[in-house]
């Protein structure tokens, strides 16, 4: 059963950068992401570990107000179109699926994992910069690959909205559902259901 608690309330406290990270939908539409902050969060992604250090990740940054960002927002699913455009930037991620010549790669099973870890680094660094990050998969991936000219050896994976958090009240009048989403308690499965000792299914003591 899922728990409706914030980190640290039903388990040992975790680092504040991890505890403070969450995926909001109400962003400050006036906030501009500085070049330095953008480079810093991508630098954090760059230093993630990866299978054989192959670094099978790539990122395309799109800033709110730019033509490519506007074109990308046309590709969002209906649910995501209500909030992604407010964020200061979107970073579209991709992981490598073949060599440039189409030959298979021997790390194919781990490339998406490694990109995910790089994205986690990005999120934690963003939290340290007082920014919030919300990953999202709901968009036209083929359309994004074409728009962003992503080579065939790479698979567009997710979008990552980055920006400054705004209070739910700021959208209460225009989009009460969005405000309600950001007020919802966050939930996780109990540790006993996912972490085992010695054998899968044997709860950690
Ligand atoms: C691969 C991936 C895809 C996601 N896709 C969407 C999405 O399309 N729209 C959305 O609102 N949230 C999306 N999310 C965000 C998750 O719903 C969110 O991370 C989860 O509910 C946990 O909430 P938290 O990040 O606030 O802890 C996605 C997250 C991941 C990792």
pLDDT digits (tens, 9 = 90+) for 146-184: 999 999 999 999 999 999 999 999 999 999 999 999 999
Q: Give distance in angstroms: CA of 3 to centre of ligand 1.
A: 17
Nearest CA to ligand 1 atom 22: 23
Nearest CA to ligand 1 atom 19: 23
Using a 6 Å cutoff on CB, does residue 157 contact ligand 1?
no
Q: What angle do CA 181, 184, 185 make, to 5 degrees?
A: 150
Nearest CA to ligand 1 atom 4: 136
Using a 6 Å cutoff on CB, does residue 135 contact ligand 1?
yes
The whole-number pLDDT of residue 85 equals 98
The whole-number pLDDT of residue 170 equals 97
Instruction: For 168, list phi and psi in degrees, rounded to 5.
Output: -55, -30
Nearest CA to ligand 1 atom 6: 136
Q: How far apart are CA 102 and CA 112, in angstroms?
A: 17
Nearest CA to ligand 1 atom 18: 23
Q: Give distance in angstroms: CA of 181 to centre of ligand 1.
A: 12
Using a 6 Å cutoff on CB, does residue 187 contact ligand 1?
no
Q: Give distance in angstroms: CA of 101 to centre of ligand 1.
A: 33
Q: What angle do CA 123, 156, 22 make, to 5 degrees?
A: 20
Q: Give distance in angstroms: CA of 148 to centre of ligand 1.
A: 22
Q: Which residues contact 17 (CB under 8 A, 6 or more apart)?
A: 124, 127, 128
23-185: which CATH topology? NADH Oxidase (3.40.109)
Using a 6 Å cutoff on CB, does residue 82 contact ligand 1?
no
Using a 6 Å cutoff on CB, does residue 136 contact ligand 1?
yes
Residue with tokens 């909205």, as numbered in its chain: 161
Nearest CA to ligand 1 atom 9: 136
| Predicted confidence pLDDT, tens digits, the chain (205 residues) | 344 557 877 788 999 999 999 999 999 999 999 999 999 999 999 999 999 999 999 999 999 999 999 999 999 999 999 999 999 999 999 999 999 999 999 999 999 999 999 999 999 999 999 999 999 999 999 999 999 999 999 999 999 999 999 999 999 999 999 999 999 999 899 999 999 999 999 988 7
Using a 6 Å cutoff on CB, does residue 177 contact ligand 1?
no
Q: Which residues contact 70 (CB under 8 A, 6 or more apart)?
A: none
Give residue limits of the domains in the chain.
Answer: 23-185
């Amino acid at each position: 059963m899922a728990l409706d608690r914030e980190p640290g309330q039903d388990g040992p406290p975790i680092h504040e950068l991890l505890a403070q990270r969450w995926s909001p939908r109400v962003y400050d539409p006036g906030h501009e992401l500085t070049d330095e902050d953008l480079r810093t969060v991508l630098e954090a992604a760059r230093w993630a570990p990866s299978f054989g250090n192959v670094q099978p990740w790539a990122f395309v940054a799109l800033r709110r107000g730019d033509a490519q960002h506007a074109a990308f927002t046309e590709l969002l699913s209906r649910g995501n179109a209500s909030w992604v455009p407010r964020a200061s930037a979107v970073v579209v991620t991709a992981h490598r699926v073949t060599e440039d010549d189409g030959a298979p790669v021997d790390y194919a099973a781990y490339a998406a994992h490694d990109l995910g870890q790089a994205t986690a680094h990005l999120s934690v660094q963003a939290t340290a910069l007082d920014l919030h990050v919300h990953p999202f998969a709901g968009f036209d991936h083929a359309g994004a690959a074409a728009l962003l000219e992503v080579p065939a050896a790479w698979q567009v994976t997710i979008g990552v909205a980055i920006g400054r958090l705004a209070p739910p009240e700021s959208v209460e009048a225009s989009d009460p559902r969005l405000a309600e989403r950001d007020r919802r308690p966050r939930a996780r499965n109990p540790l006993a259901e996912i972490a085992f000792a010695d054998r899968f299914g044997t709860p950690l003591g």
